[in-house]
C-alpha cells in the first residue's frame, strides 16, 4: 500500500471514532437564538421588577410568579429551537437527530443540570434565593463541560466561562441579574456565532 | 522495517472492517443498524465483514431481543483492541518515515 492510502486509513479511523461518539449537528444558530430569548426575557423581568416599585424581588408576590413563568418560557423556547435547528442541521449532514451520540450528549448534559435545578428549587422554597443566578450559571456550566465530550469540543470553553461567571457572581449576589444576562444572553450569542461560522455553514 | 510491516494487520485491510473496529474502539458496543448507518454499507456487505472479524476473535456478537425485535450488537474483544492498536501504531510509524 502507498503512503497515500495509509493516510486515508488514518483519516477514516479518526472520522469514524468522532462520528460514532460525538454529535456534531448541534446548531450554532440555536445558541444565538437562546441568547436572544434570554435577553428579551431579562428585559421583561427587569421591567416587571421596576414597575413593582421595589428594587428587589420578594418571593410570595405576583411579580415573582410572572418571573418564574418568564424563565420557564425562555428555557422552553430555547430547547425547542435547539431541537428544531439541530434536526435541520443533522438532516443536512446526513446524520440522525436521535442516535447513540446524541443520547449520550443529552444524558451527560441533563445530569448536572437537573441536579442543579432541583437544588435551586429546594433553596427557593426555603427562602434562600439570593444565589439563584450564581447557582444557575455554575450548574449550567458544569452541564456544558460534561456534555462537551459528546459534541463539538469547544463547547467546554463556554462551560468554563459560565462556571467562572457563576463563581464571581456568588461574591456579588446583588448583581446576580447582570451576571445572568452576561452568561445566558451575551455568552450564548457570542458562542453560538462562533459555532455557526465554524460548523454550520 | 520488517517488524513494522509485520504489525500491519491484513484483517483490517478494508474500509468497512477498519470502520467497524474504529467505532468499537470508542463505543462499548454498537448494534447492526448503527454500524450500517455510520459506514454506509449494505446488510450483506456489513454481515460478511463482521463475520470475518468475529472469526479472528476481534469482535464478539450478542444477540438479544428488544421487546419482540431481534437486536444484534457487537463489541471489541481485548485481543481485537490490542491488534487494532498495533495496526494503527504500525501505520503511524510507516507514515513518519
pLDDT tens-digit series, residues A116-128: 999 999 998 888 8
- Lowest-confidence range among A5-9, A70-74, A133-137, A183-187? A5-9
- Residue A116 · residue A145 · CB < 8 Å: no
**Segment B21-41, tens digit of pLDDT:** 999 999 988 999 889 988 988
Of B22, B27, B39, the CB nearest to A100: B27
Enumerate the residues of chain B whose CB falls inside 8 A of the CB of residue A10.
Answer: 88, 91-92, 95
Of A6, A17, A100, the CB nearest to B22: A17
**Segment A82-94, tens digit of pLDDT:** 999 999 999 988 7
For residue A31, is pLDDT > 70? yes
Q: Most B CBs within 10 Å: which of A16, A102, A103, A104, as the mutation test of the B interface?
A: A16
Percent of chain A with pLDDT over 70: 96
pLDDT attached to residue B65: 87
Is A20 in CB contact (< 8 Å) with chain B? yes
pLDDT attached to residue B1: 54
pLDDT attached to residue B7: 74
pTM: 0.82
pLDDT attached to residue A1: 62
- Contacts for A21 with CB less than 8 Å, ≥ 6 apart: A100, A101, A104, A150, B26, B27
ipTM above 0.85, yes or no: no
Enumerate the residues of chain A whose CB falls inside 8 A of the CB of residue B25.
Answer: 17
Enumerate the residues of chain B whose CB falls inside 8 A of the CB of residue A20.
Answer: 22-23, 26-27, 30, 34, 38
- Lowest-confidence range among B8-12, B28-32, B38-42, B58-62? B8-12
Is A11 in CB contact (< 8 Å) with chain B? no
Enumerate the residues of chain B whose CB falls inside 8 A of the CB of residue A14.
Answer: 22
Quickly count: other Cβ atoms within 10 Å of residue A172's Cβ: 12
Grid cell in block for residue A36: 436572544
A10/B18 Cβ within 8 A: no
Backbone phi and psi for residue A89, each to the nearest 5 degrees, phi listed first: -65, -40
Grid cell in block for residue A104: 449520550
- Residue A37 · residue A78 · CB < 8 Å: yes
d(CA A142, CA A156): 9
Size of interface A-B (CB pairs under 8 A): 46
- Lowest-confidence range among A38-42, A64-68, A140-144? A64-68
Grid cell in block for residue A141: 456550566
Q: Report the candidate in A11, A82, A189 with the shortest Cα–Cα distance to residue B91.
A: A11
Grid cell in block for residue B31: 448494534
Mark out chain B residues that contact chain A at CB-CB < 8 A: 15, 18-19, 22-23, 25-27, 30, 34, 37-39, 88, 91-92, 94-95
Quickly count: other Cβ atoms within 10 Å of residue A186's Cβ: 13
Half-sphere exposure of B28 (CA within 13 A, CB side): 2
Amino acid at each position: 500500500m502507498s503512503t497515500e492510502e495509509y493516510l486515508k486509513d488514518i483519516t477514516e479511523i479518526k472520522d469514524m471514532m468522532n462520528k460514532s461518539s460525538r454529535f456534531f449537528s448541534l446548531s450554532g444558530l440555536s445558541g444565538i437564538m437562546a441568547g436572544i430569548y434570554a435577553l428579551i426575557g431579562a428585559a421583561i423581568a427587569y421591567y416587571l421588577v421596576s414597575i413593582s416599585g421595589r428594587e428587589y424581588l420578594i418571593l410570595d408576590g405576583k411579580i415573582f410568579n410572572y418571573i418564574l413563568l418568564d424563565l420557564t418560557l425562555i428555557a422552553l423556547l430555547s430547547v425547542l429551537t435547539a431541537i428544531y435547528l439541530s434536526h435541520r442541521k443533522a438532516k443536512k449532514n446526513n446524520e440522525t437527530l436521535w442516535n447513540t451520540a446524541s443520547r449520550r450528549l443529552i444524558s451527560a448534559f441533563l445530569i448536572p443540570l437537573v441536579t442543579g435545578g432541583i437544588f435551586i428549587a429546594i433553596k427557593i422554597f426555603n427562602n434562600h434565593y439570593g444565589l439563584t443566578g450564581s447557582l444557575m450559571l455554575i450548574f449550567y456550566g458544569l452541564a456544558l463541560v460534561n456534555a462537551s465530550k459528546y459534541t463539538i469540543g469547544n463547547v467546554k470553553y463556554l462551560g468554563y466561562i459560565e462556571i467562572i461567571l457563576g463563581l464571581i457572581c456568588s461574591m456579588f449576589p446583588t448583581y446576580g441579574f447582570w451576571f445572568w444576562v452576561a452568561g445566558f444572553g451575551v455568552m450564548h450569542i457570542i458562542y453560538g456565532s462562533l459555532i455557526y461560522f465554524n460548523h454550520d455553514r | 522495517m520488517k517488524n513494522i510491516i509485520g504489525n500491519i494487520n491484513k484483517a483490517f485491510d478494508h474500509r468497512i472492517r477498519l470502520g467497524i473496529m474504529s467505532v468499537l474502539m470508542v463505543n462499548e458496543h454498537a448494534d447492526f443498524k448503527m454500524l450500517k448507518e455510520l459506514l454506509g454499507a449494505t446488510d450483506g456487505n456489513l454481515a460478511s465483514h463482521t463475520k470475518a472479524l468475529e472469526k479472528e476473535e476481534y469482535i464478539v456478537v450478542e444477540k438479544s431481543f428488544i421487546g419482540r425485535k431481534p437486536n444484534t450488537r457487537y463489541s471489541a474483544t481485548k485481543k481485537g483492541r490490542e491488534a487494532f492498536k498495533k495496526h494503527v501504531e504500525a501505520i503511524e510509524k510507516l507514515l513518519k518515515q
